[in-house]
Structure 1
Amino acid sequence: MGFGKIFLLNMALLITMAYLANILYKYVLVKISSKINYILSVLWFIFAGWICMKFGFQLKGDVLFDLRIVPLIIAAIVYAKPVVVMIISFGIGLSRLTFGISEAALAGTINFFILGILCAVMITWMNKRQFKQSTRGILTILVLNTVNVLNIGIFGVIPFKEYILTIMPSTLPITLLFSCIFALILLDFQMDQRRKLELLHTNELMTRQTEELRQAKLSLEERAGQLAQASQYKSEFLANMSHELRTPLNSIINLAEMISESEEEHEGEALEKDTPNYGNIIYKSGRELLQLINDILDLSKVEAGRLEVVQEEVVLAEVVQLMELQFEHDAEQKGIEFEVTMMPELPSTIQADAQRLCQILRNLLSNAFKFTHQGRVDLMIHKDSSACSTSGEWIVFSVADTGIGIPQDKHEAIFEMFRQADGSISRKYGGTGLGLPISQDLARLMGGFIQVDSREGAGSLFHLYLPLIQNETADGLSDEEKEAHGDED
């Protein structure tokens, strides 16, 4: 009857449509949203069923035999939503009416309505059982082809006996064969797509890992550079430390040896004459050595995270008096003017760690005197409410000098451990370079910070900011005392 040729033509058309759909998807549809692609794929299945009917085998007037069931079988395998497969089945069934409304056309429409409902039930059942793709394909092909044969025999215009004995033996094997072939083609296409997606995913993963490795390499190189730089700074620091430690130690040892060896009378007279000078040198060397040891101990506490402060009431007048007594002699020796100024609006006491506050001010003033050969050094204490973006007032200890100054590009370096504005400075002026880094850490522990404003050859200005917390001592002052201190709170 020619069923084989017509069905083979249908199969060729379906394969051609599948190939064209693949081409369109790769180069056109991939740029469109997934929702539109989904709708277009449903329409493609309906159109594939219509094409099969268009080139189907016409028997006894309006009776058509074709492979329109193959697109429905493939849709039932591909789509996981029962409603979508029902829409495709109903669409193929209704498209049969486009070739004319007749008893055979109505029978074909009813057949696909029944097949659509059956597909929905099967998909729901298979989804619950979580069958593999191959099992779903085999069950779908066998069940739909079997029911299709029964529907044609029951609802078709050809007598049941005639159809079962003469037509079905030819059409059913061909339909089963071509359904299996097309399902295998679809499976191969899906596997190819899966391989491409896996390859794409692998490429993206490798690209991401390569970028991560590159970033890690850059980070390691940066870290290695920092470690090398830190090692260099520590080497310079140790070289400076050896010089700083030897100088006072040699003075103490040599002078002690001279005193112990002076036993003769004329030497004793000379010794008695020079003893005050020797004692002064030994005292000064001992102080320098003690300061070095204190710096090293504070450094070890900072690096171990064990440096602590104790907040207590600190009388500002006592701090000022202590600084004046400690540095007046240095100012006289170097012929430098030294002045301490307290603004009238200051409270009498503040909350801070007295020992650490004095340590910071000593470091700042010591540097000011060390690097100033002529001119003056000033310490001014005042309040400031615009130190940073946070609300509240700050008490500011400003140390100004007319010394050698600091280059603009070295302002951050002077607050780093083992670094100085110039490595040769320690040779010329002495010192370990730890004073400012330790002072910055102490200021942070007390809730404050240190700022520097300096230019090379134009002197330096260091500001120590501490949060000003009004306390009961300030609040308890009399009205006359508040007016004397300028307390406006």
Structure 2
Amino acid sequence: MEYLKIFFINTALLITLAYLGNLIYKHTITYAPERIKKISWVILAIFAGWISTVFGYRLGEHAIFDLRYVPLIISTLAYPQPFILILIGAGIGITRLTFGINEATVAGVLNLSILGFVCAALSLWVRRSNMAYWIKRLVVILVVNLMNAVNIIAFGVVPDRMYITDIMPITLSAGLVLSLLFAMIIRDFQLDLLRNGQIIRANELLSAQTEELHKNKIILEERAKQLTLASQYKSEFLATMSHELRTPLNSVINLSQLIEENNDSLNGEETKEYAGIIHRSGEDLLMLINDILDLSKVEAGKLDINKEDLNVSEIPELLTLQFSVAARLKGLEFTVTLDSQVPEVIHSDPQRVQQILRNLLSNAFKFTMEGHISLNIRTFEQKEGALQRRWIVFDVQDTGIGIAAEKHDIIFEAFQQADATIGRKYGGTGLGLSISNDLARLLGGFITLHSEEKQGSRFSLYLPL
């Protein structure tokens, strides 16, 4: 009866220790790294084995009977990792040395060390076997209890006959029953941990989904703003376009009607003047229609680029001839300079290059009331790692109204100008820069902008050499 009494005391201590360990785990190391959890488990298991020995049944001066091997059984079922089990077995065995060094102590160390290796082997089987969990529990409990009895017979200091006939029937039976009780307790603990883990993972998943939904909400709100802005810009574009189309069309219709109705009374000079206005109005309409067609082709990816030799030295003369009249009418100084390092011929699309430069110069003349406008053609070298890139640069600089820094990006978008009053005051549809930017990209280059409000602007077209 003394053996049972001590074993039940051991059981109460181990249950209390398991409960305290559960509380500590839940409230301190639940979210700790896996390494800390393993170390904590090893320390707790060794401490539980030592407590069992402290309250064990003392037979004679040195022999102690207890449930110190139960933490090994629990660890095999809860943490089936061989190295941890060997460590726990050796650790519990070594704690036996705290009761003095003698033959029984050595036997105790050897017994628990062997049980540690046995449990390590069992853990491999537990992890790999497809048998039901309750069968695995029974096998582990039975094997460890039997090996403990065999080790005591082989290495213990108690006489074999006395142990087999008087002690083993009670201690082995009690050990099996109490080990099974602990197996059920640890199974419940494992299920609780599993549920907690599932709840934690579910919370993490919900948090991630909530964050993703928040991000998607921001993206949708941004897209809604963009759609609203796009709708607004297109409405403004349609209003501007109707004005841009109506003005030259009215000129064509009114003047042609005037010529038709008063053909006999008009002299040659008047007819020539009206014809010139009709001609210019027709050109404005054609340019507007061409811009819209070019934009549509760029967006559809159907704009053709025909690269051939372009004589750069002819550009200053062509543009001077084209814009000198506009400069004279507005009282502006207009200069075109060509750097001596610029090659005479480059390989690009002459029509598209001239179209970009015309757009940039037209804008410069439109938004410059006084001062000067210049076109400077130069070269530029840029080092990108081991690669040396060379560019030909067309700088269009003016002393016009300038562009605020926050507007630098949007003016390159279709249908947009620096602000809504620009179209009403200066005219235009806001397509020129967008088309020029797309054309530059198709030619392998790009356009940069340096400008401040009321300080003029410099648009630079970069084309690869």
Superposed CA RMSD in Å reads 3.2
Q: Aligned with 1:270: secondary structure? A: coil
Letter in 2 for 1:144: V
Q: Aligned with 1:190: secondary structure? A: helix
CA contact (8 A) 2:447 2:459 kept: yes
Q: Which residue of 1 aligns with 2:314?
A: 318
Q: Which moved more, 1:276-285 or 1:305-314?
A: 305-314
Within the candidate set 367, 371, 377, 1:381 is matched to 377
Looking at structure 2, the residues matched to 305 and 282 of structure 1 have their Cα atoms a distance apart, in angstroms, of 34
How many residue pairs are counted as aligned between the two chains? 464
CA contact (8 A) 2:383 2:389 kept: no
Looking at structure 1, the residues matched to 13 and 196 of structure 2 have their Cα atoms a distance apart, in angstroms, of 26
Q: Which residue of 1 aligns with 2:448?
A: 451
Counterpart check, 1:437 vs 2:439: no
TM-score (norm 1): 0.83
Looking at structure 2, the residues matched to 65 and 149 of structure 1 have their Cα atoms a distance apart, in angstroms, of 11
Q: Which moved more, 1:128-137 or 1:182-191?
A: 128-137
**1:275-311 deviation line (CA, Å, top 9, x unaligned):** 2122112111110000000110111122223334333
Looking at structure 2, the residues matched to 148 and 235 of structure 1 have their Cα atoms a distance apart, in angstroms, of 89
Letter in 2 for 1:351: H
Q: Which residue of 1 aligns with 2:462?
A: 465
- After superposition, the Cα gap between the structure-2 partners of 1:430 and 1:171, relative to the gap in structure 1 and judged at 3 Å, is same
TM-score (norm 2): 0.87
Q: 1:241, CA displacement in angstroms?
A: 0.5
CA contact (8 A) 1:440 1:450 kept: yes
Looking at structure 2, the residues matched to 398 and 84 of structure 1 have their Cα atoms a distance apart, in angstroms, of 74
Q: 1:188, CA displacement in angstroms?
A: 1.6
Q: Which residue of 1 aligns with 2:68?
A: 68
Looking at structure 2, the residues matched to 355 and 79 of structure 1 have their Cα atoms a distance apart, in angstroms, of 77
Q: Which residue of 2 aligns with 1:482?
A: none
**1:29-56 deviation line (CA, Å, top 9, x unaligned):** 6697654653453343333223222222
Counterpart check, 1:331 vs 2:330: no
- After superposition, the Cα gap between the structure-2 partners of 1:290 and 1:46, relative to the gap in structure 1 and judged at 3 Å, is same
Q: Which moved more, 1:278-287 or 1:391-400?
A: 391-400
**Structure 2: which 5+ runs fail to align?**
none
Q: Which residue of 2 aligns with 1:254?
A: 254
- After superposition, the Cα gap between the structure-2 partners of 1:179 and 1:402, relative to the gap in structure 1 and judged at 3 Å, is closer
Counterpart check, 1:369 vs 2:365: yes
Q: Aligned with 1:68: secondary structure? A: coil
CA contact (8 A) 1:395 1:466 kept: yes
Q: 1:323, CA displacement in angstroms?
A: 1.5
- After superposition, the Cα gap between the structure-2 partners of 1:354 and 1:128, relative to the gap in structure 1 and judged at 3 Å, is same
Q: Which residue of 2 aligns with 1:475?
A: none
Q: Which residue of 1 aligns with 2:175?
A: 175
Q: 1:218, CA displacement in angstroms?
A: 1.0
Q: Which residue of 1 aligns with 2:278?
A: 282
Q: Which moved more, 1:64-73 or 1:225-234?
A: 64-73
**Structure 1: which 5+ runs fail to align?**
470-489
Q: 1:223, CA displacement in angstroms?
A: 1.4
CA contact (8 A) 1:387 1:394 kept: no
Letter in 2 for 1:203: N
Looking at structure 1, the residues matched to 458 and 64 of structure 2 have their Cα atoms a distance apart, in angstroms, of 101
Q: Aligned with 1:463: secondary structure? A: strand
Q: Kindly, what percent of the aligned residue pairs are identical?
A: 52
Q: 1:123, CA displacement in angstroms?
A: 2.8
Q: Which residue of 1 aligns with 2:243?
A: 243
**1:357-391 deviation line (CA, Å, top 9, x unaligned):** 11011112222233334444333323344799984
CA contact (8 A) 1:45 1:71 kept: yes
Looking at structure 1, the residues matched to 444 and 410 of structure 2 have their Cα atoms a distance apart, in angstroms, of 22
**1:107-160 deviation line (CA, Å, top 9, x unaligned):** 555544554443333333333425454332221112222343455456656666
Q: Which residue of 1 aligns with 2:199?
A: 199
Looking at structure 1, the residues matched to 332 and 189 of structure 2 have their Cα atoms a distance apart, in angstroms, of 92
Q: Which residue of 2 aligns with 1:472?
A: none
Q: Which moved more, 1:65-74 or 1:286-295?
A: 65-74
CA contact (8 A) 1:77 1:133 kept: no
Q: Which residue of 1 aligns with 2:211?
A: 211
- After superposition, the Cα gap between the structure-2 partners of 1:114 and 1:308, relative to the gap in structure 1 and judged at 3 Å, is same
Looking at structure 2, the residues matched to 29 and 273 of structure 1 have their Cα atoms a distance apart, in angstroms, of 100
Q: Which moved more, 1:420-429 or 1:233-242?
A: 420-429
Letter in 1 for 2:297: K
- After superposition, the Cα gap between the structure-2 partners of 1:425 and 1:191, relative to the gap in structure 1 and judged at 3 Å, is same
**1:233-273 deviation line (CA, Å, top 9, x unaligned):** 111111100111112222223333344445xxxx5242656
Looking at structure 2, the residues matched to 222 and 391 of structure 1 have their Cα atoms a distance apart, in angstroms, of 40
Q: Which residue of 2 aligns with 1:354?
A: 350
Looking at structure 2, the residues matched to 368 and 104 of structure 1 have their Cα atoms a distance apart, in angstroms, of 103
CA contact (8 A) 2:449 2:457 kept: yes
